[in-house]
């Protein structure tokens, strides 16, 4: 079944170092990949995986170290060099020009032209269709990117690399945006590619995917090379402890639940997205005190719009939101925060959560600056604000504990702590947490999960929205699956069948 040709080393990265100023992102990393091999790069967020492959692809220039492609030493000065040497890359955030067609995107930088640089699109379309067919990618070359699904966009990215004759394909977190069935399709495509003799480097932090698809795995921790292992010889547990550097328990510690009465009711909610297309198509949910309700689903099924509707940032077209059986639909953000005490940990902490240029103290009072004791008659009381910030930094373990530092200067985990201190510190009735652990390392993830569980144990209601199915299952008491703007099923989290949820997330019925 395996197609590895051990006689041919396609990629060798030896002792690669990459520094950004004083920060060492890669500190002597080794990576060897053979023809027909799927090689996983495993590491936590910020461990330096993407930096390493960016060096391979010529987007960064390594500070030290050697790169050999097919046995030949190569100075990858820019992506053109990488492309010429058969390296292709599919980025985590797709590198596609939205208003362009599939063909335009694929040929960009390698345009087929007639005389004097005039584009020959029809010739290009033919060639794109050909390659698409050969690898079973099912792409229409004339579709515009903005009109096709995320899964198709990813296949366009793969096609883009193949069009350039890629023999070595780098996939950066390819499954993050896919539904479970789409992931299975991707696995099939990867198998097809290795059968054709391509080498694949796949970046991920999902252990079961490595077990499923990769032959070898290189582990990186805080920029340092840890080990390269044959995947079949290790367990997921062993991979995890190599990645984190200590024993990791996947289970979240929880006391038995004391479920209280219903507090928040969402009834038949209809909301449109920015383009005016219905994102929520009659979504209904009930949230009780003393529970964590997890909303599972793939990105783009209406989660963002749900959060925005609940927090007053998005207009509700029809349907109702009730708090304690009192309708609060259409309330302004300020009312929801102050009046109803519904607080939110937003999905994008740097965009919605923090004013990065403000200092920690100013961020901590973002929702309370207009109240006593932080201000009086429109004049701020700075001593009170900084005193409060000092106390919060201690209570929530924000490091460094200096309220005068700008939020920008904190690490991702500590930025999230500032947000949690602000939202939880105000003792909310309902806490909404959207993707609260995105981009955090394991220690910070544990901290966030503990904070959510603590709210639940104090009898408060928590609504958790996450694209990580594991997180939803581990943290929640109940799980609601969202698909295309509707809840397609609700179940208790304990003893839940992961495959069943996976199917529901993709719109299948169980």
Partner 1 sequence: MEAIINDIGFIIGTTLMYSTPLMFTSLGGVITERSGVVNIGLEGMMFFGAFVAATVAYYTQNPWLGFLCAGLGGAFLGLLHAIACVSFAAEQIVSGIAINFLGPGLALFLSRLFFDGATQTLTIPNKIPLPLHFLFGEGKLFKSAGFMDLVFNRFATVYLAFLLVLLVWFVLYKTKVGMRVQAVGEHPEAADTLGISVYRIRYGAVIMSGFFAGLGGASMSIAVVSRFSNTLISGHGFIALAAMIFGKWKPQGAMLACLLFGGAKGFEIFLGAKGVPVSSSLLAMLPYILTIIVLVGIVGKTTPPAAIGKIFDKSGK
Partner 2 sequence: MTLDAAALKKKFLSGSIGLTLISIFLGFALGAIVLLAAGFNPLEAYWVILKGIFSRPKYVSYVIIYATPLIITGLSVAFALRTGLFNIGAEGQYIVGAIVAAAAGYFFKLPLILHVIVAVGLAIIAAALWGGLAGYIKARFGVHEVISTIMLNWIALYLSNFVVTLQAFGKQGTGKTYAIQSTARINLLSDWKISEAGIEFIRSHKMLGDVLKSPINVGFIFAILLAVLVWYVLNKTTLGYELRAVGFNPHAAEAGGINVKRSMVVSMLFAGGLAGAAGAFQVLGVSHRIAKLAAMEGYGFDGIAVSLIGNNTGAGSVFAGLLFGALKYGGSKIQDAMQAPTEVISIMIGIIILFVAMPNLIRLILTIKANRASN
| Residue 405 interacting with partner 2 (CB under 8 A) | no
| Contact positions with partner 2 (CB under 8 A) in 334-353 | 334, 336-338, 344, 346, 351-353
Token pair of 291, please? 């529970």
Over the window 303 to 322, marking each residue x when it contacts partner 2 by CB under 8 A and - when it does not, the resulting string is --------x-x---------
Find the distance separating the first CA and the last CA of the chain, reported in whole Å.
32
Closest CA to 466 of 438, 439, 443: 438
Token pair of 238, please? 């062993």
**Treating both helix axes as pointing N-terminal to C-terminal, what angle do 150-163 and 121-134 enclose, rounded to 10 degrees?**
100
DSSP string, 207-255: HHHHHHH-SEEEEEETTEEEEEEEGGGS-HHHHHHHHHSS----SPP-P
> Among residues 101 and 437, whose Cβ is nearest to partner 1?
101
Binder among 64, 73, 92, 110 for partner 1 (CB under 8 A): 110
Binder among 8, 84, 375, 426 for partner 2 (CB under 8 A): 375
> CA 254 to CA 493: how far, in whole Å?
12
Q: Which does 362 bind (CB under 5 to 8 A by kind): partner 1, partner 2, none?
A: partner 2
Q: Which residues contact 70 (CB under 8 A, 6 or more apart)?
A: 8, 9, 10, 85, 86
| Residue 236 interacting with partner 1 (CB under 8 A) | no
> CA 300 to CA 283: how far, in whole Å?
15
| Residue 270 interacting with partner 2 (CB under 8 A) | no
| Residue 126 interacting with partner 1 (CB under 8 A) | no
Binder among 61, 208, 370, 394 for partner 2 (CB under 8 A): 370
Least separation in angstroms between CB 312 and partner 2: 8
| Residue 428 interacting with partner 2 (CB under 8 A) | no
Q: In this structure, are residues 58 and 78 in contact, taking their beta carbons and an 8 Å threshold?
A: yes
Over the window 35 to 64, marking each residue x when it contacts partner 1 by CB under 8 A and - when it does not, the resulting string is ----------------------x-xx----
> CA 488 to CA 480: how far, in whole Å?
8
Least separation in angstroms between CB 54 and partner 1: 8
| Residue 324 interacting with partner 2 (CB under 8 A) | no
* Alpha-helix runs per DSSP H in 150-206: 150-163, 180-195
Judged by the rule CB under 8 A, the positions of this chain that interact with partner 2 are 311, 313, 332-334, 336-338, 344, 346, 351-358, 362, 366-367, 369-370, 375, 378-380
Judged by the rule CB under 8 A, the positions of this chain that interact with partner 1 are 57, 59-60, 78-80, 83, 89, 91, 95-100, 104-105, 108-111, 113, 116-119, 160
């Amino acid at each position: 079944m395996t197609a590895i040709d051990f006689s041919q080393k396609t990629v060798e990265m030896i002792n690669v170092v990459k520094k950004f100023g004083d920060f060492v992102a890669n500190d002597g990393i080794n990576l060897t990949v053979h023809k027909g091999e799927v090689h996983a790069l495993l590491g936590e967020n910020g461990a330096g995986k993407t930096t390493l492959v960016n060096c391979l692809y010529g987007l960064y220039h390594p500070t030290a170290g050697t790169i050999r492609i097919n046995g030949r030493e190569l100075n990858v000065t820019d992506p053109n060099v990488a492309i010429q040497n058969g390296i292709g890359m599919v980025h985590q955030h797709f590198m596609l020009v939205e208003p362009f067609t599939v063909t335009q995107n694929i040929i960009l930088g390698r345009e087929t032209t007639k005389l004097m640089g005039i584009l020959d699109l029809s010739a290009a379309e033919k060639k794109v269709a050909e390659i698409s067919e050969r690898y079973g990618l099912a792409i229409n070359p004339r579709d515009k990117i903005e009109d096709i699904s995320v899964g198709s966009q990813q296949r366009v990215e793969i096609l883009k690399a193949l069009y350039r004759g890629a023999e070595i394909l780098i996939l950066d977190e390819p499954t993050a945006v896919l539904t479970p069935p789409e992931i299975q399709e991707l696995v099939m495509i990867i198998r097809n590619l290795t059968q054709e003799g391509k080498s694949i480097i796949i970046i991920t932090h999902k252990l079961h995917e490595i077990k499923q698809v990769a032959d070898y795995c290189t582990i990186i921790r805080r920029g340092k090379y840890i080990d390269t292992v044959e995947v079949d010889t290790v367990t997921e547990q062993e991979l995890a402890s190599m990645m984190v550097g200590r024993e990791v328990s996947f289970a979240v510690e929880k006391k038995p639940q004391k479920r209280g009465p219903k507090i928040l009711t969402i009834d038949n909610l209809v909301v449109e997205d920015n383009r005016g297309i219905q994102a929520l198509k009659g979504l209904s949910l009930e949230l009780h005190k003393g529970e964590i309700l997890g909303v599972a689903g793939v990105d783009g099924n209406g989660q963002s719009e749900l959060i925005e509707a609940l927090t007053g940032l998005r207009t509700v077209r029809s349907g109702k939101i009730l708090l304690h059986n009192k309708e609060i639909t259409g309330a302004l953000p300020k009312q929801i925060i102050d009046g109803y005490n519904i607080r939110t940990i937003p999905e994008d902490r740097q965009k919605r959560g923090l004013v990065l240029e403000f200092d920690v103290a100013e961020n901590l009072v973002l929702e309370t600056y207009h109240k006593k004791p932080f201000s009086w008659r429109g004049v701020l009381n700075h001593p009170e604000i900084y005193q409060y910030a000092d106390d919060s930094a201690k209570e929530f373990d924000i490091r460094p504990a200096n309220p005068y530092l700008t939020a920008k200067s904190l690490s991702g985990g500590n930025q999230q702590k500032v947000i949690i201190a602000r939202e939880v510190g105000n003792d909310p009735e309902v806490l909404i947490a959207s993707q609260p652990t995105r981009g955090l390392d394991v220690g910070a993830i544990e901290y966030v999960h503990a904070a959510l569980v603590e709210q639940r144990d104090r009898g408060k209601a928590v609504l958790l929205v996450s694209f990580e199915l594991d997180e939803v299952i581990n943290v929640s008491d109940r799980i609601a699956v969202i698909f295309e703007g509707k809840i397609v099923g609700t179940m208790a989290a304990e003893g839940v069948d992961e495959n069943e949820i996976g199917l529901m997330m993709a719109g299948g019925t169980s």
